[in-house]
Amino acid sequence: MPYQTVKGTYDLLPDQMIRFNMVAQLFRHYLDLYGYSEIRTPVFEYTGVFQKENDTSDMVTKEMYTFSPNGKDSLTLRPEGTAGVIRSFVENKMYGSEDMPVKLGYIEEMFRHERPQKGRQRQFTQMGIECIGDKDPLIDAEVIAFGYFYIRILGLTSIKVLLNSLGDNESRLRYKEELKQYFAEYKDELCTDCQNRLDKNPLRILDCKIDRDKDFVRNAPKMKLTDESAEYFAKVRHYLDLMEIPYEVDDRLVRGLDYYTDTVFEVVSTNEASGSQATIFGGGRYDNLVKEMGGPDISGIGFAIGVERLLILAEAEDIFDYEKGIDCYVINLNKDPDYALNVAEQLRSNSFMTEMDYYGRSLKAQFKSSDRKKARFVIIIGEDEVKDNTVTLKDTLTKAQETVKKEELADRLDQLMEDYYE
């Protein structure tokens, strides 16, 4: 039996890789537009970077790939991007920057031992941003705007922004107590996971996939924000309105990770192709994480887009419009490839995507290859061309054919392309 990919992992084959790179390239453009710098943290970190005391998230408690190569250190493949970026922010003392907030972006592989299904892998890619160092509704709105407009510019339309506030530390603590008491009465009716969450993080019961639609969960008391938090949230909404970003306030949106405070949001797909994994990206503010990781008492906010989910949706909405092709195909009719190799290299050094025949095949076979590769120009080299130090140049769009001096080929191609696009 030949080897196969490990369950929950996948190959990005060349065609998918083109689409992957297109979305990544646009994301990098958005990093520039919004003033973010790209960062890359290690694939594995000390487990403590991800695992905090009393963590209740599924990701930390059940899904981490943790190992100990020397029997001493506990290391974990990163399950998400935020913790590693904050570790780096603190370790590299970026909080000393005169230009707060510090804005960092990443495109990285993540690893979670989840049950694989469409849009849910064990290795997947996140494109994310973290804006660290200040807390202002303007920043929250800008972070949401980045993600929303990125998705819209990509061409996706069947999306919805969900928004909620988890309140500041004070309102959340109060609410947790209230929920604990409320759900205690229904303990036996909760799923096993939620029974465990009841004590540590009853908020998570509100968006538990198993329990969320039960009547007693629907009727659970609502969060009462402090005046300060309510005002903060109102301002975030005001700025979103101003930028004409449509959203729905969903007071049961609590997000799967434990570190969130105040603003949380998700962008979900309303396209059936996304199946049950409809959240394309999610994020929120974290007031306590930087401090918990040994840094100063400052807040941050960010989000991460799941690239695989984005690609499923992008394909379903058929937004990719590209035709892969090359600029030149060099057809060689001589036994000796030296001259053709020289021409091909000259073209590449002038930035023309160029391929050539390697096998000395018939003219017909070489033309077929050139067609398949969708070459814009065909460069034909026969005996005469070598003798005269020329090439025969054929423009596949205009069908025009001409003889060009070898040294002048690149300039001539530039000219033909310019004329064509004028």
| Interface with ligand HAM (CB under 6 A) | 80-82, 112, 114, 119-121, 124, 126, 128, 130, 256-257, 279-284, 302-304, 306, 308-309
Structure tokens at 287: 């007031």
Closer residue to ligand HAM (CB): 308 or 357: 308
Q: How far is the CB of 143 from ligand HAM (least distance, A)?
A: 9
Residue number with the smallest Cβ distance to ligand HAM: 306
Closer residue to ligand HAM (CB): 168 or 385: 168
In contact, 36 and 129? CB cutoff 8 Å: yes
Q: How far is the CB of 289 from ligand HAM (least distance, A)?
A: 9
User: Which residue, 77, 61, 80, 60, is CA-closest to 69?
Assistant: 77
N-term to C-term CA, the chain = 56
Q: How far is the CB of 301 from ligand HAM (least distance, A)?
A: 7
Closer residue to ligand HAM (CB): 206 or 330: 206
Q: How far is the CB of 232 from ligand HAM (least distance, A)?
A: 17
Closer residue to ligand HAM (CB): 303 or 377: 303
Q: How far is the CB of 122 from ligand HAM (least distance, A)?
A: 7
H/E stretch holding 253 = none
Task: Give Dmax over CA atoms of the chain in angstroms.
Answer: 94
* R_g of the chain, CA atoms, integer Å: 28
Residue 98 CB: number of other CB atoms within 10 A?
A: 4
Residue 335 CB: number of other CB atoms within 10 A?
A: 7
In contact, 381 and 391? CB cutoff 8 Å: yes
Phi and psi at residue 49, to the nearest 5°:
-60, -35
Q: How far is the CB of 283 from ligand HAM (least distance, A)?
A: 4
- The order of strands in the sheet holding 37-38 is 37-38, 102-111, 123-132, 300-306, 279-286, 261-269, 159-165, 248-249
Q: How far is the CB of 277 from ligand HAM (least distance, A)?
A: 7
Phi and psi at residue 222, to the nearest 5°:
-90, 155
Closer residue to ligand HAM (CB): 133 or 306: 306
- Residue 362 class from Cβ within 10 Å (0-12 exposed, 13-18 middle, 19+ buried)? exposed
Q: How far is the CB of 300 from ligand HAM (least distance, A)?
A: 8
Closer residue to ligand HAM (CB): 78 or 394: 78
Closer residue to ligand HAM (CB): 202 or 283: 283
Closer residue to ligand HAM (CB): 141 or 304: 304
Closer residue to ligand HAM (CB): 143 or 198: 143
Q: How far is the CB of 83 from ligand HAM (least distance, A)?
A: 8
Using CA atoms, how far apart are residues 45 and 175, in angstroms rounded to an integer?
A: 33
> Helix and strand tally (H, E) in the chain?
14, 16
